[in-house]
Structures are given as structure tokens and as C-alpha cells.
């Protein structure tokens, strides 16, 4: 794809010739001798689009997501939102949400508190907050679960709560890193179609990382394949 896509798109996400090297412990060597975890990757995600990033373990999917979120610096290339470079924009200012395989809920907090945590950076009144929490719990199929302890929930229910939390602030882009991979097969299939519906109902722009083709096809509008750090052709 290198050299084909130059101008960033006017809306949504544009990744242009992104390369990421992990330099930890290798600072003295030149970057040439460090293999890139992501190499010369370019793609766009339009607003409202759901794209799956698929590929075998170790091919650079999580690294690509971390770079988009701003947690991993690019060694070269650029990432844009609505045509503006994100190079100088800190992760928490990008307006992007992140969700992982292990939803990373706070086990000492109730379900409602966990979902509301997603809103803590926003100025919303108490009533608005609790309304939004109820709305999200309905969306993810857990109405009335607000006062439950996270420790009472099944693995699937936890991932639903994690999704509610990451959708709460209405992220302009949601980055999902293998959100269903820790669940067993039948639950995974059921949750995949639920997830597809929830993302569309909320009009959420999303990148879903997965190594499961069926899951990618169920959830995404478009599938992008990675292989050994770069886009597979």
C-alpha cells in the first residue's frame, strides 16, 4: 500500500505508512537492526465504519492499535483524525476508547460504578450519569445489573460491562483488542452478533482486532488482513 494513499481522508481515521519499532533494551543499536513490529501500514476507517484487523498471533495487530491510541510512538509515518495529525495529541485527548480481551473491570466497584467510570473525565450531572449508565446497561443486555458486584458476573457479562464502560463517553473511535477471545466458542458467537448490533445501534466507528475470521465477518463492514507486521495483499 506504500505510496498509494498519500493525503489523509477528510473524515475518520487515516493511518499513513505507520512503522513501529520496540526499542526497549535496544537503544544503543540503530533502528535498522531492530525488526519493526508494524511496518509501513496505511489504511482508512471512515466515520461510522467498523473495520476488522485480522491476522495470526504476533503479526502486529495490538501494536497497530496501541499506536493509534497513542500508547506506542511511531518511528515513522503518521496517524490522522479528520485530516489532522495526532502526533502531538496525548492518548487521553484523542477521544478514542479501548477495550481488551480481559475487560479490566474494577472488582471492588459495582457494575454501575464501573460503567460510570467511563464518564469520569466528562462533566455530567449525577442524574445524567445514572441515566447514561442505565441506558448503556440496557444496550448491552444487562438492564438492572447496576448494583451487582463485578465478582458475581460471568465472563460474558463482564465483557458486556466492559463494553458499556468503553461506550459511555461516546468515543469517536473504539479500539477493540480481541474483546471476545477469552470466552468459550458458543458464548463468543452469541456475543459477536450482539456486539455487531450494539456498535451499529450506537453508530460507533470501530477497529476490531481478532484472529477469528468468522468473528471478523460477523462484526465488521470490512476486513483488513495483517501478516508479519504489514498489510497482507
Footprint on this chain of ligand ADP (rule: CB under 6 A): 22, 24, 37, 55, 57-63
Strands (DSSP E) contained in 67-204 are: 76-81, 84-85, 96-100, 173-177
Going 26 to 232 to 67 to 212, the CA torsion angle's sign is: negative
The C-alpha cell at 11 is 473524515
- Nearest residue to Mg ion by CB is 62
Q: Measured from the CB atom, is 37 or 137 closer to ligand ADP?
A: 37
Q: Which three cell numbers stand for residue 127?
A: 442524574
C-alpha cell at 211: 484472529
| Minimum gap (Å) between residue 79 Cβ and Mg ion | 18
Q: Between residues 59 and 137, which has the closer beta carbon with respect to Mg ion?
A: 59
Cell triple for 105: 473491570
Q: Which is nearer to ligand ADP, 218 or 230 (CB)?
A: 230
224 binds, among ligand ADP, Mg ion, none (CB under 5 to 8 A by kind): none
Asked if 212 and 179 touch (Cβ cutoff 8 Å), the reply is no
Provide, rounded to whole angstroms, the least separation between the CB of residue 61 and Mg ion. 5
Tally the C-alpha atoms within 13 A of residue 184's C-alpha that lie toward its C-beta. Answer: 2
By beta-carbon proximity to Mg ion, the closer residue of 150 and 231 is 231
Return the sign of the alpha-carbon dihedral for residues 77, 81, 85, 90: negative
Q: Which residue has the cell 484472529?
A: 211
Query: Minimum distance from CB of 206 to ligand ADP (Å)?
Result: 17
Q: How far is the CB of 27 from Mg ion (least distance, A)?
A: 24
In the list 14, 19, 42, 62, the residue contacting Mg ion (rule: CB under 5 A) is 62
Instruction: Count Cβ atoms within 10 A of the Cβ of residue 141 and give its class: 0-12 exposed, 13-18 middle, 19 or more buried.
Output: middle
Taking CB within 5 to 8 Å according to partner kind, which of ligand ADP, Mg ion, none is near residue 63?
A: ligand ADP
Nearer to ligand ADP, 62 or 204 (CB): 62
CB-nearer residue toward Mg ion: 62 or 204 = 62
**CB 83 to Mg ion: min, Å:** 29
CA distance 164 to 181: 18
- Shortest distance, CB of residue 35 to ligand ADP, whole angstroms? 7
Residues forming contacts to Mg ion in the complex (CB under 5 A) are: 62
Amino acid at each position: 500500500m506504500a505510496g498509494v494513499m498519500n493525503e489523509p481522508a477528510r473524515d475518520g481515521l487515516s493511518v499513513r505508512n505507520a512503522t513501529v519499532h520496540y526499542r526497549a533494551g535496544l537503544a544503543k543499536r540503530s533502528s535498522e537492526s531492530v525488526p519493526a513490529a508494524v511496518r509501513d501500514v496505511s489504511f482508512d476507517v471512515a466515520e461510522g465504519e467498523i473495520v476488522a484487523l485480522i491476522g495470526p498471533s504476533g503479526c502486529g495487530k495490538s501494536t497497530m492499535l496501541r499506536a493509534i491510541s497513542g500508547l506506542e510512538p511511531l518511528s515513522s509515518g503518521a496517524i490522522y483524525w479528520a485530516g489532522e495529525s495526532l502526533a502531538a495529541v496525548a492518548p487521553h485527548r484523542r477521544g478514542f476508547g479501548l477495550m481488551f480481551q480481559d475487560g479490566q473491570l474494577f472488582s471492588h466497584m459495582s457494575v454501575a460504578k464501573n460503567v460510570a467510570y467511563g464518564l469520569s473525565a466528562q462533566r455530567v450531572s449525577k442524574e445524567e450519569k445514572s441515566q447514561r449508565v442505565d441506558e448503556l446497561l440496557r444496550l448491552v443486555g444487562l438492564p438492572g445489573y447496576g448494583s451487582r458486584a463485578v465478582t458475581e458476573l460471568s465472563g460474558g457479562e463482564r465483557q458486556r460491562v466492559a463494553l458499556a464502560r468503553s461506550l459511555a463517553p461516546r468515543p469517536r473511535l473504539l479500539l477493540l483488542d480481541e474483546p471476545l477471545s477469552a470466552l468459550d466458542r458458543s458464548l463468543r458467537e452469541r456475543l459477536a452478533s450482539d456486539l455487531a448490533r450494539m456498535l451499529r445501534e450506537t453508530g460507533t466507528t470501530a477497529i476490531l482486532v481478532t484472529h477469528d475470521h468468522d468473528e471478523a465477518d460477523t462484526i465488521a463492514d470490512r476486513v483488513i488482513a495483517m501478516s508479519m507486521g504489514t498489510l497482507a495483499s
